[in-house]
Chains A and B, each alone.
Chain A
Amino acid sequence: MHLPMAIECRGISKCYPHFQLRDVDLSFDQGTVMGLVGPNGAGKSTILRIVMGLIGPESGSVKVLGYSMPDEQIAAKRNIGFVAEDMRLYESETIAFHMDFVRSIFDSWDEDYAGLLLRRFDLNRNQKVKGLSHGQRVKATLLLALARRPSLLVFDEPTTGLDPAVRKEVLDEMMNALEDETRSILFSSHNTLDVEQISDYITFVHGGRVLDSRNKEEFIDGWRRLRLTNVNNAPLPTLPNIKGVQQSGRLWTVVVNDYDDEFPAEFTAAGLEVNTVERLTLEEIFLANVNFAKANAQPELAS
């Protein structure tokens, strides 16, 4: 049996007066986690809203769990749990009220799991929403989505504004949801540590475009920083993999992707001394990607 992909977006575009989403491809298998990384205003939320069928793209196709969006969104949404930052709960009602409300709509509601989540998240079901802290509100909305046990969880910035302890609770519970091997998660974050920890696939979004999208191990493995001494001011070897160069007198720092063990020898042959070769964090990889994209966008703007 072949499962449809969790999400399959092809060439989606959407124009707003001050923002354009351009030619976005995004896909990943069921049973895995996809993390969207990008600065504020990159287009992450717009992509998630298109995936949810809340916004129709002007071009391109969107399939979620095999359903075409937005046309088949009613069927798809039975199996999707969506949590966004701007979701409101009824201020004067209790958590229990919201649980009953969601249970009355979705027959997949798992009351035992909801009870377990209340304990794990340290929430009181009889507390009114207006008395909840930001962290408790986030946990309450996540509980409402998780206890439905949907096949796909779509979370927009689930860990933003949370203290480290609550952030860990949220990430732990996201990973627990994956014990079922057909369950999938798509989430956005500008916290690269969260994304690095739990994502199987990572997509970098910047300025309404996808800069790069691949599996996390490839990302982390592919990038290196070389610290070089360039005594004779020799030109760098012409490698297409060089994504960034910094110079401070004779000390040069070069960032490369698709790293190969033969690279240091290329620099040595060009007359540069290789002092160290370091791995990059996901954050550094992301910034290198953004800077490279910016540097290469300029000629396009000038023309």
Chain B
Amino acid sequence: MEFGFAFSQTDGRPLYQQIMEQIKQRIAVGDWPPAAPLPSIRELATGIKVSIITVKRAYLELEREGVIVTQQGRGSRVNDTVDLRTIQRKELLHHLKQAGKLADTLGIPDDELLRLIDQNRD
């Protein structure tokens, strides 16, 4: 089966994160609507020619984030209460937390960090 996923070798992010993002995009634009069944792990892996363990990892992380729901023996589906804004907000907070940690390691004070965020917004 064709799924039309495209991966970048220059992206720098591991493959499972790229798979997660492409699934989220399909959910965000409504191609994969709430409660819709997802392809099985093996189906998606053989479809996009990526190892099964990597697709499994992507599904596990998506489940942890509440984007999809997996039931033993019945496969995975898009969470019917999925709210992408909430998920994206969570993701933003996660990145901010990481940025904060990194700023601490680099000895960048709070006000400078805020200024840097402001400067880097287009």
- Which residues of A are at the interface with B, using a C-beta cutoff of 8 A? 31-33, 171-172, 175-176, 178-179, 181, 193, 196-201, 215-217, 220-221, 261, 264-265, 268, 273-274, 279
Contact = CB atoms under 8 A, between A and B. Distances in A.
Given A200-B52, A217-B57, A261-B101, 17 more contacts: A33-B51, A33-B52, A171-B49, A172-B49, A178-B42, A178-B45, A179-B42, A181-B42, A196-B15, A216-B51, A216-B54, A217-B16, A220-B14, A221-B14, A264-B105, A273-B106, A279-B12
A175 B46 contact: yes
B54 A32 contact: no
Interface string B13-44: 01110000000000000000000000000110
Contacts of A221: 14
B69 to A, nearest CB: 22
Contact of B53 (A171, A200, A265): A200
Contact of A215 (B9, B53, B105, B106): B53
A265 B49 contact: no
Interface of B: 9, 12, 14-16, 42-43, 45-46, 49-54, 57, 101, 105-106
A187 to B, nearest CB: 12
25 contacts: A31-B52, A32-B52, A172-B49, A175-B46, A175-B49, A175-B50, A178-B52, A197-B15, A197-B50, A200-B51, A200-B52, A200-B53, A201-B53, A215-B53, A216-B53, A217-B53, A220-B14, A221-B14, A261-B101, A264-B105, A268-B105, A273-B106, A274-B105, A274-B106, A279-B12
Contact of B54 (A217, A264, A265): A217
Given A198-B50, A198-B51, A273-B106, A279 B45 contact: no
Contacts of B42: 178-179, 181
Contacts of A196: 15
A32 B45 CA distance: 11
A268 B108 CA distance: 13
Nearest to B7: A197
A279 to B, nearest CB: 7
Contacts, number: 53
A270 to B, nearest CB: 13
Contacts of A193: 9
Nearest to B60: A217
A199 B51 CA distance: 5
A217 to B, nearest CB: 5
Contacts of B101: 261
Contacts of B9: 193
A265 B46 contact: no
Contacts of B50: 175, 197-198
A171 B50 CA distance: 10
A178 B46 CA distance: 7
Contacts of A31: 52
Instruction: Among A32, A172, A175, A220, find the residue whose CB has the most chain B CB atoms closer than 10 A.
Output: A175
A175 B45 CA distance: 8
B53 A32 contact: yes
Nearest to A281: B9
Contacts of B43: 179
Contacts of B16: 217
A96 B105 CA distance: 66
A121 B54 CA distance: 27
A178 B101 CA distance: 42
Nearest to B13: A279
Given A217-B16, A221-B14, A176 B46 contact: yes
Nearest to A168: B49
Contact of B105 (A175, A179, A198, A265): A265
Contacts of A215: 53
Nearest to B47: A175
Contacts of A175: 45-46, 49-50
Contacts of B14: 220-221, 279
Contacts of B105: 264-265, 268, 274
